[in-house]
């Protein structure tokens, strides 16, 4: 195809600024239809974003002959079902992250798309952002010598996470804190971003072990995960994701034979490079529409001009790491 006409299933908050405008701004890309179960909200989104058509039924959008590819932006519990329906219609699938609640659901999506002969892409958009491409350039260019180790730390104050009354299944909780919808808590939602990014920077995780717990009892999902990893590149690492702490913190530190590179997953400050010649800050771009660079790679692949770095297969690897770290906690719950 020469260009891609997109439809969106689920025009919630993530599509307002992070992704929807990217489908409109990318080259050879056009957003032509949107769907939300509440028709008034779908119509409002279409009006505000200049989209020609809206639906309150997903199958109607999928069947629209003017929709070439479908972006699924619903919560994870519906990703598998929608992806299989889009694939059965013979249309490429672009699905929000996390790809699904479990690796088994991811595998079903991969198999369904393979059977239908359509590509499957996942919105782990940091793989295409200029900020993290700069990180990869520094690593590949030997800025810290040979990478040996990595340490990940993400902390959030509980008060910044949820203000609801404690409870395991409180419907007032954000869906990201309800495992039946999201697959877990903020570790699944936020931690998966970092794990996928490290898969891209350091190679797939070949071994992982760890523990998960609920220490604050503010909700039913895990609020602490600690892990130890080994990557295909030989790099070893640790990860701590804690969401009932006194301070917010976001840091990845990659240690090499001649230097250290430190950066965050979710904020925009410069990268910090420490080496034999001292410390220096390295600027790294952060796009206005964060998904636009990845969306462009999806469009490029669909139009025969390139490849997308975030596929069903790569996202399923991240899901398997998440599953391993949460396995015992899920069994206990």
Q: Which pair of tokens denotes residue 79?
A: 């990703």
CA dist 143 and 145 (Å) reads 6
pLDDT per residue as tens digits for the range 263-294: 999 999 999 999 988 999 999 989 999 999 99
pLDDT of residue 321: 98
* Cβ-based neighbours of 104, under 8 Å, separated by 6 or more: none
At 165 the pLDDT is: 44
* Residue 203 near residue 232, CB atoms below 8 Å: yes
Which alpha helices (DSSP H) does the chain contain, by range? 14-17, 20-25, 39-49, 58-63, 79-88, 103-116, 130-140, 158-161, 179-182, 186, 192-202, 292-302, 312-332
pLDDT-above-70 percentage for the chain: 97
Nearest by Cα to 314 from 125, 131, 150: 125
Determine the pLDDT at residue 168: 46
From CA 290, how far away is CA 302, in angstroms rounded?
Answer: 20
Q: What's residue 159's pLDDT?
A: 82
Between the two ends of the chain, the Cα-to-Cα distance in Å is 48
What pLDDT was estimated at residue 162? 67
Q: What is the pLDDT of residue 191?
A: 98
Does residue 16 surpass a pLDDT of 70?
Answer: yes
Fold assignment, 4-124+291-310: Rossmann fold (3.40.50)
Structural domain boundaries in the chain: 4-124+291-310, 130-286
Query: Same CATH topology for 4-124+291-310 and 130-286?
Result: no
pLDDT digits (tens, 9 = 90+) for 135-175: 999 999 999 999 999 999 999 998 888 654 445 445 788 99
H/E segment holding residue 272: strand 271-275
Residue 133 has pLDDT above 60, yes or no: yes
Mean pLDDT to the nearest integer, 21-36? 98
Q: How confident is the model at residue 29 (pLDDT cuts 50, 70, 90)?
A: very high
Homologous superfamily of 130-286 in CATH? Dihydrodipicolinate Reductase; domain 2 (3.30.360.10)
CA-to-CA distance for 77 and 104, rounded, in angstroms? 12
Give the bridge partners for 149, in sequence order. 236, 255
How do residues 172-187 score in pLDDT, each as one tens digit?
889 999 999 999 999 9
210-258 confidence digits (pLDDT tens): 999 999 999 999 999 999 999 999 999 999 999 999 999 999 999 999 9
State what percent of residues in the chain have pLDDT above 90.
Answer: 93
- Banded pLDDT at 113 (limits 50, 70, 90): very high
Which residues fall within 8 angstroms of residue 163, CB to CB, at 6 or more apart? none
The CA distance from 155 to 275, in Å, is 27
What pLDDT was estimated at residue 98?
A: 98
Give the pLDDT confidence score for residue 158 in this predicted structure: 85
Strands laid side by side in the 224-231 sheet = 205-213, 224-231, 236-242, 147-155, 249-256, 260-263, 271-275, 278-282
């Amino acid at each position: 195809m020469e260009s891609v006409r997109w439809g969106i299933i689920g025009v919630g908050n993530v599509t307002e600024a992070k992704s929807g405008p990217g489908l409109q701004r990318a080259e050879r890309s056009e957003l032509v239809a949107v769907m939300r179960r509440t028709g008034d909200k779908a119509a409002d989104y279409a009006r505000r974003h200049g989209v020609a058509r809206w639906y309150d039924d997903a199958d109607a959008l999928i069947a629209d002959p003017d929709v070439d590819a479908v972006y699924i932006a619903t919560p994870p519990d519906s990703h598998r079902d929608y992806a299989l329906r889009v694939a059965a219609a013979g249309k490429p699938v672009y699905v929000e992250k996390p790809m699904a609640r479990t690796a088994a659901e991811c595998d079903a999506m991969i198999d369904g798309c393979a059977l239908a002969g359509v590509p499957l892409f996942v919105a782990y958009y940091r793989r295409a952002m200029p900020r993290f491409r700069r990180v990869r350039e520094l690593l590949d260019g030997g800025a810290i010598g040979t990478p040996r180790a990595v340490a990940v730390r993400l902390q959030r104050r509980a008060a910044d996470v949820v203000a609801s009354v404690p409870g395991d299944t409180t419907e007032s909780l954000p869906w990201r804190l309800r495992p039946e919808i999201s697959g877990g808590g903020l570790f699944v939602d936020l931690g998966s971003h970092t794990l996928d990014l490290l898969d891209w920077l350091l190679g797939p995780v070949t071994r992982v072990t760890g523990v998960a717990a609920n220490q604050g009892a503010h909700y039913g999902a895990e609020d602490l995960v600690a892990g130890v990893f080994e990557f295909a590149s030989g790099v070893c690492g640790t990860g701590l994701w804690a969401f009932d702490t006194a301070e917010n913190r976001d840091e990845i530190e990659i240690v090499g034979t001649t230097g250290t590179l430190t950066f965050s997953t979710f904020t925009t400050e410069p990268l910090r490079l420490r080496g034999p010649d001292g410390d220096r800050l390295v600027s790294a771009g952060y796009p206005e529409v964060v998904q636009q660079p990845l969306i462009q790679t999806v469009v490029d692949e669909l139009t025969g001009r390139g490849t997308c770095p975030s596929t069903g297969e790569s996202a399923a690897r991240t899901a398997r790491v998440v599953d391993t770290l949460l396995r015992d906690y899920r069994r206990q719950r």
